[in-house]
Each structure stands twice: as structure tokens, then as C-alpha cells.
Amino acid sequence: MPDYTFSPIGYIQTLREKKYEAPRQPDVGHQNITSVIELLPHCNYEQALDDIQGFERLWLLYVFHKNTHWKPKVRVPRGRTKRGVFATRAPYRPNNIGISCVRLLDIRGRHIIIADADILDGTPLLDIKPYIPYMDSFPLSRAGWVDELADVPVFNIQESPDVKIILDTCVSEDDSLLRMTIYDMLSNDPYPHPYRRIKYIDNNIFMLAVRYWRITYSIDENIITLQSIKREE
């Protein structure tokens, strides 16, 4: 079997540096969070971008550059059943190639401004293709085990006044993605698991670790209440 070698056509700049900061799905609707694709110079890519401005969305093919191995079975965000990696969008693949559908905002020379990206900073970009709704969207298609998740509860999150103050401050400072990361990590499954930085404290109180932040919360049916948050130095 022949080997195939691909070279990046550019790199994607985002606010997310750590794997756990990447959302489970694209950040649809967060219009204030933008990312930048910087295509390589002296490759004539500016001409390759001709006529792309009229498309609202793009498919990006890229490299999961922070993965060093693959897994035949992976644990998905919702539910505790491991699934075959080909039945998921997990990054632990035999060939570490990713695909995302992002929103095109603007083109400035070799720089493409996008939104709705679920991609880590520094990701090598392999290709760009236009999203064409009548060809790429099949909303009535069966979705296998994903269809079964309709009965799996999604947790709603509320914040205590003290937590809200701290998270509001973080949004305007250096941890602008902290609130989104917390919500993304807890809304599908807030309980401890070997692959999650969550532990049970006592009396229905749990603690989530996100970088140097420690967040305590309680669970009442499908309601999560963020009780406190502190920064460990």
C-alpha cells in the first residue's frame, strides 16, 4: 500500500490551547468568539480564495496535531458507553485528520476570519472546501446511537451570585473561555469518571478542575448549581 504525504496550507489561530478547552461541538451562536486562518505565503493561495466570499460556511480539513496515538474505542461526551471511533467524531483516529464546519466572516489577503470553530490553536490546515446546503445537509438521516440520546438528560447550569461575579470578570480578562469550558464539561455528564477531572467531595458536592481553577457544584435532578470557584496558585 502506498503512503501519502500532506503538507499544511496554513495554520488556524484560536483562543483554545488545551485539549479540554475544545468544545464537544462547534461554538455555534457565539458570535463574539472568532478565529483566524493564516495561509502560507508565496503559494498563490490568495488566488485560490477567489469566489469563496459568497459562501456562509466552510469545511476545514486539518490535523489533530496534539494526538500521538489512536483508539479503536472511545468514550463519548454523553453517556458512558464506549463507541467505535469510526462511529464518533473523536480525535483519536488511525489517521489524525479532523473536519469542522465553520462560519466565514471575512477574508483579508491570506487571512480568513471564521467563527463557530471547535479547533485548537496552532492546528495545521490541510484543505478548505465550501459548505453547500443542498448537497451537505440531510436533516432526516438516521444518526445511529446518537438518536438514542434523546432520552439522556441534558443538565441545566445555574450560578450562585459569587460565582457569577468571578466568571463575568474572567470573560473580560485572561480566562475569557472559562465559563464556556465549565458549561461544556458539565452539561452532558457532571459525574466523576476516570477521564474527567471531577471528584466527589461530600453531601452531593462535587469539584471540577479546569487548569488552575477549582469549581464546586451540587446536582439536583437535572439542575447543576455552581456553588463556588477559586483559583489555585
Strand-pair category, 97-108 with 57-63 = antiparallel
pLDDT tens column, 7-36? 999 999 998 877 666 666 655 445 567 899
- State residue 29's pLDDT score: 45
Predicted confidence band of residue 68 (pLDDT cuts 50, 70, 90): confident
- Domains 10-136 and 156-231 belong to one CATH topology: no
Residue 171 is predicted with a pLDDT of 62
pTM: 0.76
DSSP code string of 42-111: TS-HHHHTTT-TT-SEEEEEEE-TT-----SEEE-SSSS-EEEGGGS--S--SS-EEEEEEEEEEEETTE
- Say which residue the cell 477574508 belongs to: 107
What number is the average pLDDT over the span 184-204? Answer: 85
**Options 3.40.50.1980, 3.40.50.720, 2.40.30.70, 3.30.420.40; CATH of 10-136:** 2.40.30.70
Distance of alpha carbon 120 from alpha carbon 23, whole angstroms: 10
pLDDT of residue 124: 97
Mean pLDDT confidence for 149-176: 79
Q: What percent of the chain has pLDDT over 70?
A: 88
Which has the higher per-residue pLDDT, 3 or 25? 3
What is the rounded distance in angstroms from the CA atom of residue 123 to the CA atom of residue 17? 10
CATH of 156-231, one of 3.20.190.10, 3.30.2310.20, 2.60.40.10, 3.40.50.300: 3.30.2310.20
- Whether 224 and 155 have beta carbons less than 8 Å apart is answered as yes
Mean pLDDT of the chain: 87
Q: Are 156 and 188 in contact (CB under 8 A)?
A: no
Residue where the block lists cell 461541538: 25
What local confidence, expressed as pLDDT, does residue 106 receive? 96
Q: Which three cell numbers stand for residue 8?
A: 499544511
What pLDDT, on the 0 to 100 scale, is given for residue 151? 65
On the question of pLDDT at 207 being above 90, the answer is yes
Please give the residue that has the higher pLDDT: either 125 or 3.
125
Domain boundaries defined on the chain? 10-136, 156-231
pLDDT tens, position by position, 100-148:
999 999 999 999 999 989 899 999 999 999 999 999 988 888 888 777 7
